[in-house]
Amino acid sequence: MNAHEIDYRILGEEMQCVEIELDPQETVIAEAGSFMMMDEGIKMATVFGDGSKNEGGFFGKLLSAGKRVLTGESLFMTTYTNEGYGKRRVSFASPYPGKIVALDLSAFNGKVICQKDSFLCAAQGVSIGIEFQRKLGTGFFGGEGFIMQKLEGDGLAFVHAGGLIIERTLAAGERLKVDTGCLVAFTSGVDYDIEMVQGVKNVLFGGEGLFFATLSGPGKVWIQSLPFSRLANRIYQHAPSNGGARREEGSMLGGLGDLLDGDR
């Protein structure tokens, strides 16, 4: 294997974290802001690019960093290396309620495509790049735009998504329609396209948007039940500064009710 062979365990239910166990000189790479805690003897370092061992010098690192900018991520990533003599542990936390999924890339022909902000951490040797959507309609209306993240290698990578994550295996020719925001990841053999919602009433009053994401097998897909954008919209709608306080609760007291129950 080119990637480091790390051990792990996923802890928690709604707010999960992943604990990585590193042997001496093993390294894990992670997105900035995902760190939770680590044992003594682990060295943290900020690196340019995706931290892959196979970036190919300065220009390779520059290209890798440029790809990360296109996906809206930072130019830098953080590496955690066990420089002690025994096993050490480092933990990374999910950024919002949801689930963490471990992907063994060697089991998926060395490549998984995922939404831009789902990557959490991976064994060193895994390359984090970009995947362009070749179809114009998919790029404009597919919910993830023209650019998605691409995880390549033969090691473990960890992705995070909101709510419950459902894993589906599609047979050759089998099609699955998904809300464009609910798609988390899919293997390289899956064909990703979009399809317009049928029916005028569905389009105008269905409240589910104009398009489905259509996924055609063979391959595996991961679907989330609570996209972060959906969660953020609900929070915004009910924020007091947005005039949303008690709007959906049917209260006749309005502001007086807020005073009585201590909200003001």
Give domain limits for the chain.
7-237
Q: How confident is the model at residue 68 (pLDDT cuts 50, 70, 90)?
A: low
Q: Return mean pLDDT, the chain.
A: 77
pLDDT of residue 33: 82
Confidence of residue 130 (pLDDT cuts 50, 70, 90): confident
Q: How far apart are CA 184 and CA 254, in angstroms?
A: 39
Cα–Cα dist 83/205, whole Å: 59
pLDDT confidence band for 66 (50 / 70 / 90): low
Position 173, amino acid: G
CA-nearest of 230, 88, 222, 228 to 158 is 222
The answer on pLDDT for 42 being more than 70 is yes
pLDDT greater at residue 120 or residue 201: 120
* Res 249 pLDDT > 60: no
Residue 181 confidence (pLDDT): 83
Structure token digits, residue 55? 């970036």
Q: Which residue has the higher pLDDT, 18 or 258?
A: 18
More confident residue, 139 or 163: 163
Instruction: Please compute the mean of the pLDDT values over residues 120-142 and round it to a whole number.
Output: 69
Mean pLDDT of 190-198: 77
**pLDDT tens-digit series, residues 209-227:** 567 788 999 999 999 998 8
Q: Which residues of 120-150 are buried (b: 16+ CB within 10 A; e: fewer)?
A: bbbbbbbbbbbbebeeeebbebbbbbbbbbb
Categorize the per-residue pLDDT at 152 as very low, low, confident or very high, splitting at 50, 70 and 90.
very high
* CATH architecture assigned to 7-237: 4-Layer Sandwich (3.60)
Looking up tokens 């404009």 gives: 140
Residue 211, CA atoms < 13 Å, CB-side half-sphere = 18
* 13-40 mean pLDDT: 92
pLDDT at 244 > cutoff 70:
no
